[in-house]
Amino acid sequence: MIAADDGFKLLKVYAVAQRRTLDDGRVVPWIDENLNPTNGDWISRTLLRQRHHHPTERGKDYNHSTFCDLIISGLIGLRPRADDTVEVHPLVPADWSYFCLDRIRYHGRELTILFDQSGTHYGRGRGLRVLADGKEIAASKKVERVTGRLPPPAPAETSPGG
């Protein structure tokens, strides 16, 4: 298993890699389909240029969900499950004093995952907290694996007269 600090270092390397050097030397923010880890080249762009002899933007701004997945399931630690259990195991650096991932749709609910070391940043008390539709379902005094059960779905609203 990878240590939280090492995982965050790798995530930062990946985030910084999201750029491209233009022919005039300027470096611009860039996301494309796939990055060559050995030389920083955007592989799809290079292949299209080689095949068609001109640069194309087929993959530009192509991020799919990879980066979000790394943040949501890796760094913040929301582990997708098929049942009504919410499992969170953050891998944030030990020196973080707070973080929050808010308004995440999950099994038809809206989750909030937050950590507040002092209890004053978010005003919800000290520690790690997981909320579903605004109601706390799991908590811990420290950043560690927690689980909680999703509350039953709210009754469907009925239309007038029916």
How do residues 1-43 score in pLDDT, each as one tens digit? 677 888 888 888 888 888 888 889 999 888 777 788 788 788 8
With a cut of 70, say whether residue 72 has pLDDT above it.
yes
Per the CB < 8 A criterion, the answer to whether 60 and 32 are in contact is yes
With a cut of 60, say whether residue 159 has pLDDT above it.
no
| Same domain, residue pair 33 and 96 | no
Q: Does residue 155 sit within a domain?
A: no
Strand locations in 23-160, DSSP E? 27-29, 78-79, 85-88, 98-106, 109-116, 127-132, 135-140, 146-149
- pLDDT at residue number 13: 84
With a cut of 70, say whether residue 56 has pLDDT above it.
no
Strand locations in the chain, DSSP E? 19-21, 27-29, 78-79, 85-88, 98-106, 109-116, 127-132, 135-140, 146-149
96: left (phi over 0), alpha (psi -120 to 50) or beta: beta
CA 98 – CA 125 distance, rounded (Å)? 11
**Mean pLDDT across the stretch 46-68?**
71
pLDDT higher at 49 or 83:
83
Cα-based angle 67, 69, 75 (whole degrees, multiple of 5): 95
| Same domain, residue pair 88 and 142 | yes
Residue 107: closest CA among 63, 67, 148: 148
Structure tokens at 52: 């068609």
With a cut of 60, say whether residue 158 has pLDDT above it.
no
Q: Does residue 41 sit within a domain?
A: yes
> Percent of the chain beyond pLDDT 90?
51
Tell if the pTM clears 0.75, that is, is over it.
yes
Q: Does residue 63 sit within a domain?
A: no
Instruction: Give the structural domain span for 33.
Output: 4-52
Structure tokens at 93: 């650096």
Q: Does residue 14 sit within a domain?
A: yes
CA 60 – CA 25 distance, rounded (Å)? 19
Q: Does residue 117 sit within a domain?
A: yes
| Same domain, residue pair 41 and 97 | no
| Same domain, residue pair 136 and 85 | yes
| Same domain, residue pair 82 and 136 | yes
The tally of domains found in the chain comes to: 2
- pLDDT at residue number 142: 96
**Mean pLDDT across the stretch 99-120?**
97
- pLDDT at residue number 10: 86
